[in-house]
Amino acid sequence: MKQWLTRLIALAVVLAVVFWLWQALFPSPEHVIRNRVAKVARLISFSSNEGNLTTLSKVSSLLTYFSPDIQCSIETPDIPDAGDWTIAGREDLRNNVLSAHSMVESLRAEFIDVTVAIAPDRQTATAELTARVSLPNDKDFIVHEMKFTLKNVGGQWLITRVETVKTLG
Amino acid sequence: MNEPAAANVPEPSLLRIVLIGRRPRNTCVRIVVLVVACYIVFGFILLPIRIEGVSMQPTYHDRQIDFVNRLAYIKHEPRRGDVVSIMLAGRSVMYMKRIVGLPGETIAFSSGKLLVNGEILTEPYVKSQCDWEIPPVTLGTNQYYVVGDNREMPEKNHEKGIAERRRIVGKVLL
């Protein structure tokens, strides 16, 4: 009985390790997209003591996650004087990100509750998520529901469209 | 026959009794049952929340802890005056608002007064005056109008509007 139980536990451990290895070596598109979205959030975030070189490096790295024809349509009605942002293309995105760096001291972005849906053709996908942004000197954080549209370009999932979703109509 | 042997078993120390009880096996079973019960209750039925922001003041304050009862709308649909949590993309971050308009009703704000089907709604939970002006909006099926209790805030900075029924997670408990 004891030997049988030991074998069962050993089998379960082996299966868990094989499953983990399989996930690590051959990640599903959903897993890849989740990782990329989390990486985008980390690259958008910046602290007050960040140097110029680090900023430029992070922004350059950030742009590689977006397609050259990226379209962003971001409505921020709850941020006074922020207006709506419409971004077309990587260069426009770079300028907007750099201007955000000059406008605020620091920023912390998180993308949570990410739901990934892969299209039947396996070439496009959407990621619906909640963006939570914290700004310095502001005890409240800004939350927005967002939708990212992604396209598989040469094996890489690039963000082609970013838009805000109106939770309350 | 066994009595002398039982009498020789030393009494466990007080520290051991306090930490794991007289019968460790029973204590383990109790801990497992408690963990499973907490997981089910607080993971699926009563969702713990921490309120952030001022839009529900003075009824609810910033940093207050509360729970969302997900079983509240099993027997009946949401009612006017209920404080509910509304999910965004998921349940990690939710809006907390009060239902003021039910499906099929027309909602508007005129000189800061909330109008439901053209009549002023008495709102005892609102303690401040406002000057909000919002044109009439008619709710469809499965749509509710939600707004916070803090009407001192500028209308533009206050999240409010139509919430689909599928987004209402549950009723705030306390």
The DSSP code for B43 is: I
- Chain B residue numbers touching A129 (CB-CB < 8 A): 89
Phi, psi (deg, nearest 5) at residue A140: -85, 150
Q: Which residue has the higher pLDDT, A111 or A77?
A: A111
Residue B168 is which amino acid?
I
Helix axes A29-44, A52-63, angle to 10 degrees: 150
Identify the residue among B57, B61, B93 best suited for mutation to test binding to A, counting A beta carbons within 10 A and taking the highest.
Answer: B93
Q: Residues A151, A124: contact at Cβ < 8 Å?
A: yes
Specify the pLDDT at position B1.
46
* CB atoms closer than 10 angstroms to residue A16: 10
pTM of the model: 0.80
Q: Name A111's bridge partners.
A: A131
> Which superfamily does B51-172 belong to?
Umud Fragment, subunit A (2.10.109.10)
Reported as a single tens digit per residue, the pLDDT across B22-51 is 888 888 999 999 999 999 999 999 999 999
In whole angstroms, what is the distance from residue A34 CA to residue A112 CA? 10
| Pairwise CA distance, residues B165 & B118, whole Å | 23
CA dist A84 → A87, A168, B161 (Å): 10, 17, 19
Question: ipTM, 2 decimals?
Answer: 0.76
> In chain B, what are the domain boundaries?
3-43, 51-172
Closest Cβ–Cβ partner in B89, B91, B162 for A169: B162
Q: Which of B52, B159, B162 sits opposite A141 (nearest CB)?
A: B52
Task: Determine, for residues A168 and B54 on separate chains, whether the beta-carbon distance falls below 8 Å.
Answer: no
The pLDDT of residue B155 is 84
Of B104, B110, B101, the closest CA to residue B146 belongs to B101
* Cis before B58? omega within 30: yes
C-alpha span between B70 and B68 (Å, rounded)? 6
pLDDT-above-70 percentage for chain A: 95
Span A95-106, average pLDDT: 87
Q: What share of chain A is helix, strand, coil (3-state, %, to 5)?
A: 40, 35, 25
CA distance B47 to chain A (A): 16
Q: Residue A83's closest chain B neighbor by CA? A: B156
Q: Which residues of A touch B89 (CB under 8 A)?
A: 112-115, 128-130, 145-146, 165
Mean pLDDT of the A136-149 span: 84
User: Per CATH, the architecture of A28-165 is what?
Assistant: Roll (3.10)
For residue B97, is it left (φ>0), alpha (ψ between -120 and 50) or beta?
Answer: beta
Burial of B172 (0-12, 13-18, 19+ CB in 10 A): buried
Indicate the average pLDDT of chain B. 90
Minimal CA separation from A144 to chain B, in Å:
8
- Predicted confidence band at A81 (pLDDT cuts at 50, 70, 90)? low
Count, in order, helices (H) and strands (E) of chain A. 4, 6
Residues 6 or more apart in contact with residue B145 via CB below 8 angstroms? B99, B100, B101, B105, B107, B137, B139, B160, B161, B162, B163
Residues of B in contact with A82 (CB under 8 A): none
Q: Would you write out chain B's pLDDT as a tens digit for each of its 174 residues?
A: 455 555 576 777 888 888 888 888 888 999 999 999 999 999 999 999 999 888 898 999 888 999 999 999 999 999 999 999 999 999 999 999 999 999 999 999 998 899 999 999 999 999 888 889 999 999 999 999 999 999 988 888 888 999 999 999 999 998
Q: Per-domain residue ranges for chain A?
A: 28-165
